[in-house]
Structure 1
C-alpha cells in the first residue's frame, strides 16, 4: 500500500488537471463532447489505480481532505454570479425555461429512484444517477456523493461520476440531431429582432487589491454559509451540506452588494477563482473514485442513463419547444437544455454553438441558457435533491 499525503495529493490533482487539459486539446472526441479536463486526468488515474489494485500490485491511498475546501469555494463563486439584474433581461422565456429545468430535476429523480427500485439497488444510487449527475454534472456528483457516503452508502461518488460522464457524452450526442429535426420539420430561421445584451463591466485586468476583495467576499460567504447549513440541519433534521448554505449566502451577498456598492463584485476574478477551485476539486474527486466497487452496478446504471436521455429528448421536443414559442430561438434553447440537462453548462454552450454556426445566431438563447444553467437551476435543483436524499436516507 502506498499512502499519499494531502500536499502530494494536491500536487497530483493539479498535475492530472494539466494532463487532462492537454488531452482534451489533442483528442477530437474529448474536445467535441466537452469532457472536462479534470475528469479526463482524474479518470485516467482512477483507471490506473484500479488496475494496480485488482492485479494485486499495489493499492494507492490518497488524502483528499483538502477537497472540501475547493468544493465549497466553487459553489460560493456560483452563488456570487447570481445577479437578479440578469433575470430581468431574460423575461418570460427565461421563467418558462427555468421552470422547465425545475420540472426536469424532479422527473430525473423520479426516474432514477424508480429504476433503482426495479433493479433492486439502493434508491440513493438512483438519486446519484438522477438530477445530481444529470443536471448537476460532475461537480454536484462529487459534492452530493460525499454527503450520501457520509450517510453510510459507499461508492456514491463513483456512481455519480460515472453517470455524469455518460450524461455528458449523451448530451453532446443528442443535441445536434434533435435541433436538426426541429429546424427541418418547422422550417425555422433566425429571428431578426434584437435583444439587449447584458455586458458585465469587469473587463479590466486582474489586480491584487480587487482580487483580495473577491477572496474576502468568497471566504466570508463560505464561513457564514457553512454555519447556516449546520444550523438548518440541526433545526430541521434535513441534511443541508455546508456548500449549499455557502452558495445561498453568496446569492444574498451578491445582490446586497449590487445595491450597496455596485461594481464591487468582479465576476472576471470570481470566475477565475471558481474555475481553479472546480478544476482541483473535480480532479481530486475523480482520481479518488474506486471503479472496482461499481462493476456489479454497470448494467443498472446504463439502463438509468438511457431512460434519462429518452425522457429529456421527448420532453424537449414535445413540451419545452412548444412552451418556448416553437421558433428558432426555442430550438436553440432545446439544444442547450439537452446539453446541461444531461451534462453541464459548457456542454449546453457547445451544443448551441454548433447549431448557430450552421443555421444562424440566437442572441436570446445565448442569454437565457447560461443564466439558468450556471446558477438559477440550483434554486430548484438543490431543494429537490436534498429532499429526495432525506426521503430515502
Structure 2
C-alpha cells in the first residue's frame, strides 16, 4: 500500500479543491441544491468515501495535517461576533433560555436512549452510553475526554466507539439539518422577521459608517489585525483558565464574546474602521474550509470496524432528534422563521458539532434570508452554555452505570 503524507499546505489546497468540486456537483445536481445540502458536506464526504475505498483495497493510505482547523474555526466565530448587533436580536434573552433548556433536555433524553438501547442490544451500558450525549452533543472532543475516563475504569474501546458515533452524527447532522429547515420554511411559508425601528436605526448607523470609509489596504489590515488580536487573546485566556481552574472554556466562546463587545462599542465610539462585508466574507470562507477539512479527514475505514450496535443506537438518536426538533422545538421557539433556522442548527450540533449547525443555518440563510436571532443563540448555546448542563449530566450517568 502506498502511504501519502500531506503537509499543512497540501491539506489546505486539497480542502479548497474539494470545496470547489462540491460546488460544481451541487450546481450540476439540482436535487442537492433543492434540499439545501451544504457544499462542504458534498466535497468532504466524497473524498472520505474515496479514501475509504482506496484503503479498503490496499491501494493508498492518506495522512493529512489538519492543524489549521482550530484557527479557521476561531476566525469564523470571531467574525460572527463582529456582525452581531445585540440590540437587533429581538427576544434573544427569552429565546436563548428556551433554546438552552430544550437542548439540555434533549441531551438527557439522548443519554437515556443510549442506555436503554444498549440493554436491548446486549452490550455494556457504558459502551452504549458513548453513543448518547457524549458523542452526539459533545462530538469528538467529549468522546475522547469521557471515553478515556470510562476506559480508565476498565471498559475497553469506549474512545473508539465514541469517535465512531460522533463521526456518524457529524455526517447525519450535516445531511439532515438543511433539508429539515427547508421543509419547515416552505411548509409554513415563513419569512425573515421584521425588526423593530430602533434596531433598524442601529443597522443604518453601521451601514453609514461602512459606506463612509473606503475599503483600502489600510482598512483591510486594521480589521484583520483586530481579528488576529482577539484570536490570540482568546487562545491565551482559554489556556490560562484551564491551567488555573481546570475549567475548560473553548477559545471560540471567548473570541466570539470579545468580538461582540468590541463591535457594538465601536458603533458608538468608532475607534476603528469596521468593515462588515469583510467579516461576512471571512465567515463564509472560514466555515467552508473548516467543515470541508473536518469531513474529508473522517476515517471511515476505522468506522467500518465498529458498526452494528453503534449504527442502531445512532439511528435511534437521529429519529428522536428529528421528531423532537420538528414537533416540539419548532413550536416552543415560536413556529416562525427564526425557529425554523434554529431547528436546522439544533439538528446540526446535537448530532454533530456547532460548525455543522452554522453550516446548515448559513445554507438556509443564503437562500431564504438572514436570522440574526438564530445566529446569536445557536452558537452561544452549542459552543458553551450547553456544557453547563451536559458535563454534570454525563458524569452522573458514568458514576451511575459503572
Q: TM-score range by the shorter chain?
A: 0.7 to 0.9
CA-based RMSD of the aligned residues comes to 3.4
Report the CA distance between 1:242 and its aligned residue. Answer: 2.6
Where do residues 1-393 of structure 1 align in structure 2 (5 Å cutoff)? 1-87=3-89, 90=90, 92=91, 94-118=92-116, 119=118, 120=125, 121=127, 123=129, 125-127=131-133, 130-131=136-137, 145-146=140-141, 148-149=143-144, 152=148, 153-154=159-160, 159-175=165-181, 195-196=196-197, 197=200, 198-199=203-204, 200-201=206-207, 202=210, 206-261=215-270, 264-295=273-304, 296=307, 297-316=310-329, 318-320=331-333, 324=334, 330-343=335-348, 344=357, 347-348=360-361, 370-381=371-382, 382-385=384-387, 388-389=390-391, 392=394
Secondary structure at the residue paired with 2:88? Answer: helix
The alpha-carbon distance between structure 1 residues 252 and 181, as it changes in their structure 2 partners (threshold 3 A), is: closer
CA distance in 1 between counterparts of 2:318 and 2:32 reads 19
Does the CA-based 8 Å contact 2:96-2:377 persist in structure 1? yes
Residue by residue over 1:351-377, the C-alpha shift from the partner in whole angstroms, topping out at 9 and shown as x without a partner, is 6898x8xxxxxxxxx66xx22222333
Report the CA distance between 1:113 and its aligned residue. Answer: 2.5
CA distance in 2 between counterparts of 1:191 and 1:44 reads 33
Report the CA distance between 1:262 and its aligned residue. Answer: 6.6
Report the CA distance between 1:289 and its aligned residue. Answer: 0.8
Secondary structure at the residue paired with 1:84? Answer: coil
Report the CA distance between 1:50 and its aligned residue. Answer: 0.9
Does the CA-based 8 Å contact 2:135-2:142 persist in structure 1? no
The alpha-carbon distance between structure 1 residues 64 and 36, as it changes in their structure 2 partners (threshold 3 A), is: same
CA distance in 2 between counterparts of 1:380 and 1:273 reads 22
Does the CA-based 8 Å contact 1:175-1:335 persist in structure 2? yes
The alpha-carbon distance between structure 1 residues 249 and 160, as it changes in their structure 2 partners (threshold 3 A), is: farther
Residue by residue over 1:263-303, the C-alpha shift from the partner in whole angstroms, topping out at 9 and shown as x without a partner, is 73322101212221222211211111111333412221111
Does the CA-based 8 Å contact 1:112-1:126 persist in structure 2? yes
| Deviates further, 173-182 or 340-349 | 173-182
CA distance in 2 between counterparts of 1:316 and 1:182 reads 15
TM-score, length of structure 2 as denominator length: 0.75
The alpha-carbon distance between structure 1 residues 62 and 206, as it changes in their structure 2 partners (threshold 3 A), is: same
| Deviates further, 39-48 or 198-207 | 198-207
Report the CA distance between 1:107 and its aligned residue. Answer: 2.3
The alpha-carbon distance between structure 1 residues 206 and 54, as it changes in their structure 2 partners (threshold 3 A), is: farther
CA distance in 1 between counterparts of 2:393 and 2:143 reads 12
Runs of 5+ unmatched residues, structure 2: 119-124, 149-158, 349-356, 396-402
Does the CA-based 8 Å contact 1:80-1:250 persist in structure 2? yes
Runs of 5+ unmatched residues, structure 1: 133-140, 184-188, 325-329, 357-365
Report the CA distance between 1:46 and its aligned residue. Answer: 0.6
